[in-house]
Structure 1
Amino acid sequence: MLRTDNAYKFMKNIRGSPAFWNSVLLDLLATVRQLGIPTWFLTLSAADMQWPEIIRSIALQYGTQLTDDDVKKMSWENKCKWLRSNPVTAARQFDHRLNLFFKKYIGGKGHPIGELQDYMIRIEFQARGSPHAHTILWMKNAPKLGVDEDAEVINFINEHQSCAIPDNSDEDMRDLVLSRQKHVHSKTCRRAGSCRFKFPHPSSMETIIARQPSDVNPAAMSKELKTKEEVLRKVRTIMEDKNTPQDISLEHLLRRAKVDPQEYQQALKLTKSREQIILRRNPSETDINQYNPKILKLWRANMDIQFILDQYACIMYITSYMLKSERAMSDLLQKVLEESRGEDLKSKLRKVGSAFLNNREVSAQEAVYRLLSLPLQRKSRQVVYVNTATKDKRVSMLKPRHVLESMDDDDDNIFCTSPLDRYASRPRVLEEMSLAEFRATYNTDVLDGRDDNGRNDKDRIQRHPPVIKLQNNLGNMKRRRQHCIIRFHKETKNDEERYRNLLMLYLPWRDEEVDLKAGFPSYKDHFEHVIDTVRANEAMFSINADAIDAAYNDLLRNGPPEDIWHSIAPNVEFEQAEQQAEGITVGGEMSEEDQRENIDLTPQSTANHRSELHARFTAELNRVRMSSEEYRTMMRSLNSKQMEVLRFHRKWCKDTIIALKHDKPAPQYTIFFSGPGGVGKSHIIKLVHHETLRLLTPLSGRYFDPNDLPVLLTAFTGTAAFGINGMTLHSALCLGCGGKEYQPLSSDKLNTLRSRLGKLKLLIVDEVSMVGADILYHVHRRLQDICGNSDPDTRFGGVSILAVGDLFQLQPVGQRHVFSEPSSDYAKLHAKFNGSLWEENFRMIELTESMRQKEDQDFANLLMRVRKAACTESDINILKSRVISKTDPYPSEALHVFRNNKEADDHNLKHLTKLSSKVFHIKAIDTKDLRTGLTNVAISTKSSGNRALKEVLSVAVGARVMVTVNVDVSDGIVNGAFATVVAIDSTGLDVQTILVKFDSDWVGQQAIANSQYKQAYPGVVPIQRQNIQVSPNSSGRRSVQKPSCIAISRLNHSHHKHRLLEQTELGGGAE
């Protein structure tokens, strides 16, 4: 392994590793070489949500008896709950079901797809973790393309393969076909406007084997293919016409398209590439994936079945599927080896092992398969490796220690007997038997003579004795019941070695040092002298070997065709793509300023995102609770309206407890808690959060697990979230930034959210006025995904929502008001059929008594009228009395609020130049994908562009600055946090860190505690470069910059209520 730089192959005995699957692949290629091209590709998926016996078995283990009807009526959430509670039983049930299905049915006397002769099964796991089986089947006396007549092949296919929709006389079969085998287009299957799984398939009057045009003239071939495309285009146009009846016959379809039936069938017989099968199907069946009616009826889950036409398709399929799921891991291990060149063997192996252990994710059911040693692959024949290397390159095994200790010191017979030793000592009766036949026929283990299905091998040679006694006292050997498969190294570089291998395998010999050359000048000369004997023996173990080698070499040079899996097993591949895309969080467009500013700066794409998510929720779970004294003080300060809100919520908590104790869904409320600033909304939020935890926490152990969060406290902006000790809405629910369309999560990230928020009962959303209509829809969809509740009559996954805010505030940037019609097409469609999420679900409770300005009722009333744009003449006069000119003396260091970014930037730059300290200009670093290196793409500085990170940040000691992204919400380092620059750590003009002192002593406490500067600069927070992804034109560019800006002034829209300012100057004119 070290000589060939394949040290990672030491893991070939670790099931599921790349080296393991590579070994399985070599076994399978050897099987194809010896047995010939298989007959069928068959893929069987798991349907653990539709197989009631699995959930019934799991429930029975927990003392609950369920009927099939109970399971069928069960909600998706409860089914998931049962499956998650015992993945061991779910995995074992699939393994048992598959094993029985092959032994009793596929390999039984029913012969649903022909008489089974040999098979190979590989278990793969989908994105959600459920297993499916990829199988390769050899059927006895099955016709082969190019050997048998086309009519015989077509009759065999028609007998065992179908894409027909059964009529209503068999409702069960019809339902199975339509629910399991019908392809429904989605965004995951679209590529350049067409379906990558090749649906819809063309309709045909009969099953056809399509081939390339027979004319060898390129111009003539091109003309034939263009004619074909034109004919099919006409038919396709009519098929896609909305006015075409779904049950139209092919005859009427062709008539509408003005295409001659014979011309159409002739067009179907032509293909640009290799041969392909076009099944007979009606126009209504063009989206039905092929199936075997008998198998589908019994298996009752998705299936794919494909007749194998030639060795090329066979090699492409088996090689791709054997290595598909482990290709990334294999590449990683190879990279680790390259990086560890020059290190000792122990270090290399340690690094390879560590990379394998720490960079491979497995689902619960895959973990069960590995831990319980459930078979990840099965085959009907044993495969043995015949080592044909020269003696100096072969590895021998030492005899056991106790045997060596009992031997004489001068005895050099220290190695175990090898298969080659046994062959050289075979009895005289087997003198003319080659090494290949010997290894395939005889075995030392008397128990290893039975194949998996117990059938006798009809091709065994009866003239060979059942038991043989080896010469030189090497023991006995027993004839196998079935020839095994031999695998050997095929030499391609050295001609002499290649001829030596052929002679060693297929020419009888006793002494390899003498007999293989037999006095000839070279192995090649000897081979040519005995070529007839060698070829005759080789024919027993190599069928179409040259064609298989050519296909395999083509694969090594060019890789598998991109769509090979999509065409061979479209059902499984579509399901896999759906599950993966369900959780791929596509980065939204970096559009509006406040949208970008209020998204948490979190490395969502890193490998440890799950641990980061868990840490995020653990911090929320462990947040310091309100003390009893603080609780009593806050309760005593409530006015009557506030107390009414709290009593309502307390009753909901008690109703929820009763419902959960009786295994019923918790009651749901959706309340909009409104009122102007200063009426105590934040006060009520904290009390509602505390009451929920106080009343529901006692259910821990019975309904809630220790890591469950029954209530989640969120706000739209980081500043507001810090003000209420909560999380941002985007951070809590992993919502994407920007973009109006909902982006589902990846399965692993969604599973993490479900493990922490799956039993969420109340979501509190502060600053709901900043939440647009599209984001509200995203919250609804995300909670549906988390809670597993997609009931169209249920909103927000059954979670209660307390939305807090004041809708008289400014409209959300880049989005419509939360009560308006959303801009997303899917959200519009949802509103059309299910009603507005806001208007038809939320009930408003309004507070009107100002607690903040209760000592100055006149000013409170003025603010109320300003809020509603109902100012009196007296109000306007009072406000005008506060207007000053630029020459008037006023505290110029106060925060200035402007209408637009340009005015704010100009004002900031003016004040920055007045500072006596050195000004540093820090340029953002733009990268593109990790593969293309640095780019010079500038970040937009316009008001409609990305303002979270500036292209060039100018800063100096003494400057007032403000954080512009949410770096750490729990520590208060959030968008809108103000600070003063205390020091700048730099090397020349290269700035590493900006040290700032925040206005609030509560901000940055964790960062200060972990700071390397805390001795030299106590109480100062270090600000590092931050990485954020921007997606103009979907370039996937990442920008790295300090998350701050000069903050003498700010855009007026971003002026938040959660900061009380003694001095504020509104700029920009009176309009």
Structure 2
Amino acid sequence: MTYEDCENHIEAMSTSSVIVMERRPQDCWVNGYNPHLLRAWDANMDIQFILNPYSCIMYMLSYISKAEHEMSDYLKRVIKDSSHDNLSDHECMKQVMNACSKNREVSAQEAVARTCSLKLKSSSRAVIFIPTDDNAVKMSLPMKYLQSMDDDVENVWMTGLPEKYKARPNRPEFQNMCMAEFASEYRIVYGQQSKGKNVLPLQNNMGYIQKRTRGKPAVIRFGRFSQQKNPEKFYGTLLKLYLPYRTDEQLNSPKFPTYGSFYAFASVKLPGTDEVQHVCNIVNENRTAAFNISGKTLHCLLKLPGSLKPPYQGLGNSLDEIRADLSNAHIFIIDEISMVSKQLFAYVNWRLQQIKGNQKPFGGLSLLTVGDYNQLPPLGRAKPLCVYEERALDFWKDHCQVITLTQITRQRDDLAYAELLNRLRVKQKH
């Protein structure tokens, strides 16, 4: 195997940035270790590089919530005891079933949390799952309703969020609302809550909804499918989440029977409008507006090296990859602007023009920068943006408007302390 073949295979198996140790073939089953720590530790070692905060959090949570092996031993004892009692296979299986349903294996951390009545999790927002699969799992109606139904009734399932969305009120604000916005902005209410303030009835006696007023809109979760491996489920999820519809038939047509073809080529006229719009444009607009904020840092997007020297060739991802990332972008955000130099800022302008394929300032994107000039300066001896030069091309001075924020929010409960910090920032002795 050549080095290039090895790189291609590793790239195919990895979905994110990873570090692969250079090994001899006979060492492929040896865990990552440090020879100096190994002498001190004198025990098994498996060192893995973690390159992003998400992987670190996932590793820690998976480790502390890792289950033990007592459940398997418990089931073995149940089976052994049932065999000594000369029970039939049916009774033996019933005891095993009861043991599985009434007992659960938990980690030591969860056991302590439940014993001490501690919260297992806490969130500042509600989280709601939206089923988008055509064959999603459903719950049947309670037995007392099923027993009173006729034998030829086929609808024996409880209604879920998709059914309630399709039965949303026939009011102007709901006409062109997609299911993602409906689930995020409104909640289903039951019982006495249905008599509360600002409660709206759903059509077809589907229940009641109420706009969320406490906190922010809920975070939506949904099944994620690969665009390459499951294209129908991928595009079906997009259509169901971000295209307004009342019936399932509105998500395809005889001319475009698949979700993929309907998304790519179909056009529809939304209620209350006379304009025919492409389905993909409606989906992308709703998706980008509020629910799919997928940003990248300046370093990750442009892959800048330690020092920038013209010509800027061979830097960053391929143009096709970056264009795909910025295809629906309207705003380019740079945080900690005080650390960005004039040279880097000019490079950002040139790079965005190259990506967008035009000579407009920053490729036609709106630029939003956030920062404090009294914080860290640009690295090295680079000149900061706020220093003007009369005879130099200055993208900051010519294309950006400075807005100074004057209201203190971080230390608003202790204004004396906040004013002291501000005096230290600007170095005013008085």
TM-score normalised by L of structure 2: 0.42
Question: Higher Cα Rg: structure 1 or 2?
Answer: 1
Higher relative contact order (CA 8 A, sep 6+): 1
